[in-house]
Amino acid sequence: MTEPSALPPEAMVGMSNPAQIMDEPIERVGSWWVYATFWRGRRRQLWEYAPAGVATRGIDGNIVPNEGGGTWWLPMLQRVEQLGAALKRQASNPAFKAQTVTHVERAGGTLVFICDGTSVGESLAAAMQRADQRGPWAPEAVRDLAMRLADAMTAAHDADLLHLDIAPATLMQVGDQIVLRGFRADERSLMRPAGGKMPFVRPPYSAIELYDDTGRASLSPATDIHGASAFLYRLVTGTDVPGWTSGKSRRPEAPGYAPAFLNAIERGLSTDPSQAFLSVAEWRAAMGPVVASEPAPDGPPRWLPAAVLVALLLLGGSYGLKQGWFNQADPPAVEAGEPPADTVTANPAGPTDASEVAPAESPASAEAGG
């Protein structure tokens, strides 16, 4: 791929023929071709709206709709123009720095957005293709990405903008932020003229309502939350979400994650409208802690602290000495014919007077006498 031409600003006046001021696009993002170019003396990005299967570049270099350019194309262009105006109003918002629209121009049969800067950071699609990141990600990394992605989506929704194409290719890591690019207008009206849905959806990240070519299903924050949940599913498991008709569970299974976090992903992927999250804030709250906490011990510790053990031994030893348990001296001698002191005497009732009880000889006195 060659570097796009660097032409003076006057070559771009009117933007009537974008093909004359650029060589090849940097990349394809959804329905957009992205180019590096100059605009009014500064290096910029040029985002050209050309949805696959609908718009093609003619021999004159202009993008034109298929079938000769009928009137069905005009409402779509108006929606894209409105999207560009909404993004332009967010030019000072740092959350939109990956696609900071400064100008919206008609260019032949389509539209172009002029954006500040060049590609910054790294797309999550590129990060996931690195050899060290192709499988499941570490729970701590997923936790950080989940929180930053929620921040980016909140910024968009607070600006009354739905992204409609949340996927690794449209998520950028810029410093310590996740920022969104490749915003889409509602393109479902193009599906029937184009003869299919695939140019306008991104399996498995597109929510089921984006497949509705009648356009009757409502689009909401849950549409973006589905894409975000599919992205997190991919990070957690290392595999894509099973299809709706596969019959397989859409709950990710992986060690190290809190159950609430996995449940929030599963619910975000649900096709049941009654399960839909109403906002990113609700989705984020449902996640709870991302990483599972250490399980609490089932009972007391198996080994007592050494100080407690020593104290118990000393206490037991003192009590044992008091009771004569540890006395190793021979018992006092008993004269012939005299019963042992601990045998039952002839008087079963016991002594009647204290004087009848012989005092017990202590171990110490026995040793002294012996």
Ordered domains of the chain (ranges, CATH)? 11-118 (3.30.200), 121-293 (1.10.510.10)
What pLDDT band is residue 348 in, cutting at 50, 70 and 90? very low
Predicted local distance difference test score (pLDDT) of residue 68: 58
Structure tokens at 132: 């060290």
Nearest-5° angle of CA 291, CA 297, CA 299? Answer: 160
Q: What is the DSSP letter of 130?
A: S
**Candidate ranges 32-36, 281-285, 297-301, 361-365; pick with highest mean pLDDT:** 281-285
What amino acid is encoded at 247 in this protein? G
Alpha carbons 2 and 331: distance in angstroms, whole number:
109
Indicate the pTM of the whole model.
0.73
pLDDT in tens, 282-296: 999 999 988 876 554
Q: What would the DSSP string read from start to end of 135-167?
A: SPPPHHHHHHHHHHHHHHHHHHHHTT---S--S
